[in-house]
Copies of this chain bind each other. A is one copy, B any other.
Amino acid sequence: MSLRHALLGLLADGPASGYDLLKVFDRSLAFVWPATQSQLYGELNRLADDGLIEVTNEGPRGRKDYSITDQGRAELEHWITDVEPDRIRRNDAMLRVFFLGTVGPEHAKAYLEREAAVHEALEELLGTIARDTDWDTNDFNRYGHLVIESGQRYAHAQAEWARWAAARVDDLDKNEAPAPTH
């Protein structure tokens, strides 16, 4: 049910159409909660049916501007303060790490070094975004800046871990077949 609240959160800043929301979404929330266009439009209709948002203006090309209702604002605040966040973190890349023993130490090292590179690139990308954006325009941006900072720290930690883990593979390998020294 998070997409629902993501849309409420965006509309809390002011009225917008599905098309507007989709664009904002892809540049911000999609990093932590991706959604497709079809999902977004469907959810907007459901939110309107439930009275959490309403159409306050209609423009050309069937454009509908949605505004959050009092009920919607109440639901948003309830969700933020009272609902315990879902802690589930699916991580396709980390799942593979469990099975690196099946592909041999060379492939294992290569895999981990690639992970390091990917996260170093991500850290860099987020750093660029952090520098090139004016964050002090509204609350959404001010708090969005905190999210970007979290992403940078995450990327940095993952990259460091992957470098460390790649180095550990050699140790694991040696212990498996103990050195004949002595």
* A interface residues, Cβ below 8 angstroms from B: 2, 5-6, 9, 12, 28-29, 31-34, 73, 76-77, 79-81, 85-103, 107-108, 110-111, 118, 136, 138-140, 142-144, 146-147, 149-150, 153-154, 156-158, 160-161, 164-165, 168, 172, 175
Contact = CB atoms under 8 A, between A and B. Distances in A.
A5 B101 CA distance: 14
23 contacts: A5-B99, A9-B95, A9-B99, A9-B102, A12-B102, A29-B95, A31-B89, A33-B92, A34-B90, A76-B102, A79-B96, A87-B92, A87-B93, A89-B89, A89-B91, A101-B142, A102-B139, A108-B143, A149-B164, A150-B158, A150-B165, A153-B160, A153-B161
A88 B28 CA distance: 14
A89 B29 CA distance: 11
B97 A147 contact: yes
Given A9-B98, A34-B90, 6 more contacts: A2-B92, A12-B99, A81-B107, A87-B92, A108-B143, A153-B161
Contacts of A154: 154, 157-158
Contacts of A153: 157-158, 160-161
Contacts of A150: 94, 97, 158, 161, 165
Contact of A142 (B2, B80, B172): B172
Contacts of A164: 149
Contacts of A110: 81
Question: How many copies of the chain does the oligomer comprise?
Answer: 2
Nearest to A99: B9
B95 A32 contact: yes
A180 to B, nearest CB: 19
A29 B149 contact: no
